Structures are given as C-alpha cells and as structure tokens.
Chains A and B, each alone.
Chain A
Amino acid sequence: MPFDYLLILGAFLFCVGLFVVVTRKNAILVLIGIELMLNAANINLIAFSSFDPNALQGQIFSLFIITVAAAEAAVGLSIVVKVYKHFQTADLDKINELKG
C-alpha cells in the first residue's frame, strides 16, 4: 500500500472540505466541510502513526481531534440554530453584520 496515496487522499479530502467551506452558502454544509477537513488531518496522523507502533501518539492525537470535532459540531450546530432563529436564515452570505 503506497504511503504517498494516503497522504494524497488526505490532501484531496482537505481541499474538498476547503472548497465546500468556501463556496457553500448554507452553514450546515460549511460545518460538513469542516468535518471533512478534520478527517483529512486525522488520516495523515493515523498514517504516520502506523509507522510508530510503540508510542501511538498519532492515534491518541486523532482521538482527541475526534472528540474536539464532536464538541465543535455540537456548539457549531447550536450556534447555527440560534443564528437561524435570529436572522430567519442560515445562509452565510446574508449574515454579514460585520461588513465594513
């Protein structure tokens, strides 16, 4: 199994996540993109960790990332719900209160 392919897959996932984050109007989809990017990072961590069987730091790190992702998803979604209640929309292009 070529190691480079793993890394390329991770990079691909990250870029797709980035694209989704940047282009989609809906806040839920943006969160989905963020999840994709986190997963891309996890793939890299696990891939490198597999060459280090004794320390397993990569796996532990990815476990923490998953946890943080869960927390982030919970908080993020609750914010989205709150924003929707407030602005009556979840489209990020319409929520530009900070426009200069």
Chain B
Amino acid sequence: MELNDIIFYVFGAITALSALYIMLTKNILYAAFALILTFIGVAGIYVFLGAEFIAVTQVLVYVGGILILLVFGIMLTNRLSGKKVVSPAYNKLMGLIVAAGLFAILFKGILQANFSAMNWIDKGASADSSIPKFGLTLMTDYVLVFEIIGVLLLLALIGAIRIAGNVRKEDKSAV
C-alpha cells in the first residue's frame, strides 16, 4: 500500500468519523467544531484528486467563513450562561430509516454501476495539478457565470444584513 493511499484513507476516515460525531453529539458547539474536521478532511481528499484550488477555497470559505458565521449564529440564538448548548433530537427512528435506506440504495447503486470498469475513466489523469489551466478556464469560458456568482454573493450579503438587521431603526432612519 502506498503512502498516498494511506493518507487518503486517513482523510476519508477523518471525514466520515467527524461527520458521525456531528450526527451523534447533542452539543451544537461540538458539532460545529466537528464540522471543521469534516471540511478539512474533505479538503484533503480534494488535494488528492488534483483539485488544489478547490481544496484551498474549501478551507477558506468553509472553515474561515461559514463556520465563523455558524458559531456566531449559535451565540446569537442561545442564551449562553455557562451551561452546555445542547439540542435534543426527535424523529430519530424515521430519520435513521430514511438516511439508512437512502444510503443503502446509493451504496448498492454505486456497487452495481462498477465505475472502474468504464473505459472513459483514465486512471492516470488524476494526478495532474492544473491551477493555471483552471484559472484560465474560469476567466474565459465561465467568466459570465463567475460574474453572476459574484453578484449573487453580494446580493446574499446585502440580503443577510437586511434580514438580520433592526428593521425598526431602519424605518426610523428612512423617515
């Protein structure tokens, strides 16, 4: 077994285990922190799959942005007074059945599809790193989408501020 594979499995295990922890823990804060591990694990797998830029973006956006937002959200929506921030679960049986059933179907589908046997999969091509090529493609072929995404982000930010902000104050200032 190569080192590459070992590292991949380690990352895969980190991802899967931290995800399981999110699933099992009742503490919201712990879940948020376990999410960091998941994201990092996923980012590692991205690197192995030759998507370094995506991996970096993953870490930047998720760990640096979304997670901070989540933690702030927890802070804003719970009365933090020394005790643990816990959230009970319900619908456990139904949720488990649905999730497990979906997983079982997907698992069976993946095994049945037998992607390895497909000829379009070039196993050798996965190792190449091509950030410049990615940047070129993004700025040429997909530049319109890129701009639209930017606008979308801006709109989302403005909208988030508008929603979360104090409406009354704004009304008064508007007058």
Contact = CB atoms under 8 A, between A and B. Distances in A.
Check whether chain A touches chain B (CB < 8 angstroms). yes
Given A12-B19, A35-B35, A78-B164, A93 B134 contact: no
A29 B33 CA distance: 12
Nearest to B111: A4
A81 B164 contact: yes
Q: Which range contains the number of B residues in contact with the other chain?
A: 35 or more
Interface in A32-71: 32-33, 35-36, 39, 42-43, 46-47, 49-53, 55-56, 59-60, 62-64, 66-71
B60 to A, nearest CB: 9
Interface in A18-33: 18-20, 22-29, 31-33
A55 B94 CA distance: 41
Given A1-B8, A67-B152, A82-B164, A77 B70 contact: yes
B49 A50 contact: yes
Given A5-B12, A51-B121, A74 B54 contact: no
A87 B132 CA distance: 50
Interface size grouping (class) on chain A: 35 or more
Contacts of A90: 77-78
Contact of B156 (A35, A36, A51, A75): A75
A1 B161 CA distance: 44
Given A2-B116, A4-B110, A51-B122, A73 B70 contact: yes
B165 to A, nearest CB: 8
Contacts of A14: 102, 106
Contacts of A75: 156, 159-160, 163
Contact of A74 (B19, B38, B157): B157
Interface of B: 4-5, 8, 12, 15-16, 19-20, 22-23, 28, 31-32, 35, 38-39, 42, 45-46, 48-51, 53-54, 57-58, 61-62, 65-66, 69-70, 72-74, 76-78, 87-92, 94-96, 98-100, 102-103, 106-107, 110-111, 115-116, 120-123, 125-126, 128, 130, 133-134, 137-138, 142, 145, 149, 152-153, 155-157, 159-161, 163-164
15 contacts: A1-B8, A3-B115, A9-B15, A32-B31, A39-B62, A43-B42, A46-B45, A47-B49, A50-B49, A51-B121, A53-B133, A59-B134, A67-B153, A70-B65, A73-B70
Interface of A: 1-9, 11-20, 22-29, 31-33, 35-36, 39, 42-43, 46-47, 49-53, 55-56, 59-60, 62-64, 66-75, 77-82, 84, 90-91, 93
